[in-house]
Copies of this chain bind each other. A is one copy, B any other.
Amino acid sequence: MIKVLELKMTVTDSNDRDAEALRNDLKARDVFLINLMSSPGSGKTTLLSRTITDLKDRVKIGVMEADIASDVDAKRINALGAESIQVHTDGMCHMDAGMTREGLDGMESIDSRIVFLENVGNLICPAEFDTGAHKNVMILSLPEGDDKPLKYPLMFKKSDALVITKMDAAPYFDFDLDAVRKRVKAMNPDIRIFPVSAKTGEGMDEWESYILSEWEKWRNA
């Protein structure tokens, strides 16, 4: 049984303040929150499924799936044995800090683990609202094209890491990886970029090592 929470937009005068408070509360509970943002259909859930399978013996992982409807993603994650919760955003195209807190409160156990928030599939609104996450990760799938950093600059600027998924489909598409690297680094020099394929496993080691090392760094900070 997948738990589904129906959320309403949190009305508060300061989402930024709520986000900062949530970040601190989670620190006290040893919960490292990673916000995953992307277009619909970028392969977030597939990336997450493989990441959970590969890492679950080394770290506890929870997942919050945010969507406007359906619970198909939470079902996939639950089947892997990671605790997952589905939250619905009442038609809204992003999660704010209050909604994220409510979703976390709805999970059975979250202490001492990494929690991935799979944000609503959208390259615009999620970039504008701090969810309280400790890391923001953007996922761009290769079939979406190498022009996306030009068209949705804010999300590329706000992310700590960029995962480029579906690299195995490279022979089928004109996608200039070097051009993406240059465009993204020009607006966000510190961003880490991970080209991966969850299907073939290409690049998954680097991505998963990054997650583990950021988790360790954050715990020891």
Contact = CB atoms under 8 A, between A and B. Distances in A.
Interface of A: 39-41, 67-70, 72-73, 91-93, 120-125, 128, 141, 143-145, 147-148, 150-154, 166, 168-169, 172-173
A41 B124 contact: no
Given A39-B39, A39-B41, A122-B124, A72 B147 contact: yes
A70 B172 CA distance: 26
Nearest to A144: B41
A197 to B, nearest CB: 11
A151 B39 contact: no
B40 A144 contact: yes
A70 B151 contact: yes
A69 B151 contact: yes
Contacts of A128: 91
B148 A41 contact: yes
A123 B93 CA distance: 9
Contacts of A124: 68, 91-93, 120, 122
B121 A123 contact: yes
Contacts of A152: 40, 68-69, 121
A169 B170 CA distance: 11
Contact of A145 (B41, B150, B153, B173): B41
A151 B40 contact: yes
14 contacts: A39-B40, A40-B144, A41-B141, A68-B154, A70-B147, A70-B150, A72-B147, A72-B150, A91-B124, A121-B152, A122-B122, A125-B125, A169-B169, A169-B172
